Amino acid sequence: MQLTGSQIVIECLKEQGVDTVFGYPGGAILNIYDELYRHQDEIRHVLTSHEQGASHAADGYARSTGKVGVCMATSGPGATNLVTGIATAYMDSVPIVAITCNVGISLLGKDSFQEIDIAGVTTPITKYSFIVKDVKDLAPTLRRAFEIAKTGRPGPVLVDIVKNATSDVAEYEKEIPKLIPRMTEKIDETAIDEAIKILRKSEKPMVLVGGGAVIADADKELADFVKKVDAPVTDTLMGKGAFDGNDEYYVGMLGMHGTKTANLSVSECDALVVVGSRFSDRVAADTKSFAKNAKIIQIDIDEAEINKNVEVDLSIIGDIKSVLDIFNSRLEQLYHKEWLNKVLARKDALPLNYHHDVLTGPYVVEKLYEVTKGDAIIATEVGQHQMWAAQYYKYKKPHTLITSGGLGTMGYGLGAAIGAKAGNPDKTVVNIAGDGCFRMNMNEIATAVRENIPVIEIIFNNSVLGMVRQWQTLFYGERYSHTVLDNNVDYVKLAEAMGAKGYRITKQEEVEPVLKEAIASGKPVVIECIIQSDDKVFPMVAPGKGLDEVFDEKDLEK
């Protein structure tokens, strides 16, 4: 049948099972929005307050559902406002398709009003960037975009469409999307046999879980593997939920703000199985001394990650779920009682700790875990609050922590929470923010209210840029250059002005009742928690130091 380009865009979205898109209209993309109006009973459009909010919402939707997230923007500044969100998704391997429209082909390359080469701009931060100049290429390109976003290591794809291609007519025939097979053809079963030999000889094995295990939905296979190897488990920020945070084998997060138990044990272990982690600097710290006593076995879907940051002894390329399946079918039950007992005793002796006599971020996160029974989806911004959310909320399942790990994007969490709630309407969705991050994209509270998306925003208000101030305190001689935010903003009134419910908490006993009331309200809620300016995240590994040099507040006092 003959359809306009705009009709083809909508039909292709329907082919892919897209039920929600996030975006902001403008002149160049108006034809698509006009067509979207006619299909609003099939595809929900969430109008964000800013295009960056749309890209973060598509990201949060994708991370929490496992589907491809979709965002839209017009040409020029509309398109460039998506860039930070696209880069965030790229760094964390999140499948999104960003659809932008450009000026008509006769105006292309002439510095026309609101013209930008967005495909060129985003080439380094996408798996692929397309520009569609002919309506005949539109359907194949969109189908290819979704396929690329989902295949292998997922990631963002941009499709830029010149305006005349949205109004021109072409033949369209519906296609059923191809099933994306798990990447198994590269799995070297000889390498798996070699890895099993290493594990059989090992007396002190450990398992490090990264974001790849979450993406692969390999939680069941991972749990079976851990029990077979009989090894303690640590994870990265991005790996949260792939292994149950309540499991007795779990010893906490690894890295700059990882637990002492995890950091010291990885430094001591003699075999380390790394499941879907790229050894970022915040995880591995000093890469030369990382797991210096261990044979390192790296399992990853992306061959480019092998030996990129840390030299490993053995690598296995392929879908993590499939690789672990093979391990579990071949590996007999191993026993490491003495090592396991040592690590778990260390875990008991070196717990996470904070000041219990005042209102703190960790106290609020622990209460949030109790009230939600660990069943909420937690989004975060970036900074101290992000680390407290990672340390003190126990993630039981994949896709329940939505956070910017690779790019560290302040202003990410609120948009991402809106996307996660849109994709999971029956789940409690909470975004944990600092006052600095909240000010970045707080206008998306208006989006939550207008679109009736009941997210809960918790702001830890310490009147400073907390994580930067922590570094200034520890490493910059307490020179607090431009990190003080003491500007008397009333966040409760701000929330109410945008139509949300606002609360202010100053005492521990207020936390639980406010959280319960917020969850029961079914409305967008902002909860401001007043905490001290010099609260810090511990433990910590100083930049450039090894994991075995981890320290906490008591060590500083000594």
Domain boundary among 171, 206, 225: 171
- Catalytic hit among 42, 113, 248, 478: 113
Cα(337)–Cα(124) distance, integer angstroms: 48
Q: Is 305 a catalytic residue?
A: no
Mean pLDDT of 186-198: 95
Mean pLDDT of 179-189: 88
The predicted model scores a pTM of: 0.97
Please check whether residue 176 lies inside any domain of the structure: no
- Hey, is 485 helix, strand or coil? coil
Contact 248, 394 (CB under 8 A): no
182: pLDDT strictly greater than 90: no
Q: Which residue has the tokens 């109790």?
A: 370
Q: Are residues 339 and 369 in the same domain?
A: no
Alpha helices in 218-319 (DSSP H): 219-229, 260-268, 281-284
Task: Specify the amino acid at residue 520.
Answer: A
pLDDT of residue 388: 98
Find out whether 157 and 58 touch, Cβ atoms under 8 Å.
no
Percent of the chain with pLDDT over 90: 96
Mean pLDDT score, 78-84: 98
**286 in the same domain as 215:** yes
Residue 388 in any domain: the answer is: yes
Tell me how far apart the alpha carbons of residues 127 and 336 are, in angstroms, rounded to a whole number. Answer: 42
Residues 180-204, buried b or exposed e (16+ Cβ, 10 A)?
A: eebbeeebeeebbebbbebbeebeb
Question: How much is the pLDDT for 486?
Answer: 79
Check whether residue 261 and residue 369 sit in a common domain. Answer: no
* DSSP code string of 410-472: TT-HHHHHHHHHHH-TTS-EEEEEEHHHHHHHTTHHHHHHHTT---EEEEEE-SB-HHHHHHH
pLDDT, tens digit (0-9, with 9 covering 90-100), for 122-164: 999 999 999 999 999 999 999 999 999 999 999 999 999 999 9
Distance in angstroms (rounded) separating the CA atoms of residues 287 and 301: 21
Nearest to 351 by CA among 266, 269, 261: 261
Catalytic residue among 11, 35, 51, 381: 51
Are the CB atoms for 500 and 445 separated by under 8 Å?
A: yes
Question: For 102-123, what is each residue's pLDDT tens digit?
Answer: 999 988 988 899 999 999 999 9
Nearest residue to 344 (alpha-carbon basis) of 407, 413, 261: 261
pLDDT in tens, 433-482: 999 999 999 999 999 999 999 999 999 999 999 999 999 999 999 999 99
Give the closest residue to 93 by CA, choosing from 230, 229, 200, 236: 236
For the CA atoms of 249, 251, 252, 258, what is the dihedral angle to 10 degrees?
-150
Give the separation between CA 358 and CA 441, rounded to whole angstroms. Answer: 29
Report yes or no: 149 and 157 within 8 Å, Cβ to Cβ: yes
Same domain membership, residue 107 and residue 64: yes
Nearest to 249 by CA among 282, 278, 273: 273
- Give the single-character DSSP code of 540: B
Last residue of a domain, one of 171, 198, 230: 171
Structural domain contains residue 140: yes
**Parent domain of 477:** 361-537
**Is residue 487 pLDDT above 80, yes or no?**
no
Per-residue pLDDT at 330 exceeds 90: yes
Return the CATH number at 27: 3.40.50.970
- Catalytic entry in 67, 163, 204, 421: 163
d(CA 413, CA 545): 30
Burial of 241 (C-beta count, 10 Å sphere; 0-12/13-18/19+): buried
Residues 78 and 166 in one domain: yes
Could you report the per-residue pLDDT of 498-556, keeping only the tens digit for each? 999 999 999 999 999 999 999 999 999 999 999 999 999 999 999 999 999 999 999 98
Distance CA 346, CA 124 (A): 44
Over residues 181-210, the mean pLDDT reads: 95
Residue 555 lies in a domain: no
Are 17 and 100 contained in the same domain? yes
Q: Are 101 and 27 in contact (CB under 8 A)?
A: no
Q: Flag whether 551 is in a domain.
A: no
Same-domain pairing of 415 and 392 = yes
Count Cβ atoms below 10 Å from residue 345 Cβ, excluding itself.
11
551 is catalytic: no
- Whether 343 maps to a domain, the answer reads yes
Question: Could you say which of 91, 183, 440, 467 is catalytic?
Answer: 467
**196 pLDDT tier (thresholds 50, 70, 90):** very high
- Higher pLDDT pick, 557 / 165: 165
The whole-number average pLDDT for the span 346-365 is 97
Spot the catalytic one: 15, 114, 303, 512. Answer: 114
In a 3-state reduction of DSSP, which class is residue 387? helix
Active site residue 51: yes
In sequence order, which ranges of 66-137 are alpha helices (DSSP H)?
A: 77-80, 83-91, 118-122
Say if residue 127 is in the same domain as residue 210: no
Q: Which residues are CB-contacts of 49 (< 8 A; sequence separation ≥ 6)?
A: 441, 443, 444, 446, 447
Average pLDDT, the chain: 97
Tokens linked to 193 = 């046999």
* SS3 assignment, position 394: coil
Residue 147: in which H helix or E strand, if any?
A: helix 138-150
Domain assignment of residue 544, yes or no: no
Domain match, 25 and 159 both: yes
Q: Which two tokens stand for residue 238?
A: 């991005």
Burial of 427 (0-12, 13-18, 19+ CB in 10 A): middle
At 270-321, the pLDDT tens digits run 999 999 999 999 999 999 999 999 999 999 999 999 999 999 999 999 999 9
200 has a pLDDT exceeding 90: yes
CATH number for the domain harbouring residue 224: 3.40.50.1220
Are residues 250 and 276 both part of a single domain? yes
| Selection from 283, 282, 312 nearest residue 299 by Cα | 312
- Whether residues 382 and 323 fall in one domain: no
Is residue 557 pLDDT above 90, yes or no? Answer: no
Query: DSSP for 289-313?
Result: TTTTTSEEEEEES-GGGTTSSS--S
Among 314, 349, 384, which residue terminates a domain?
Answer: 349
Count structural domains, the chain: 3
pLDDT of residue 488: 86
Beta strand 250-253 with 96-102 is unpaired
The verdict on residue 432 lying in a domain is yes
Residue 114 annotated in active site: yes
210 in the same domain as 114: no
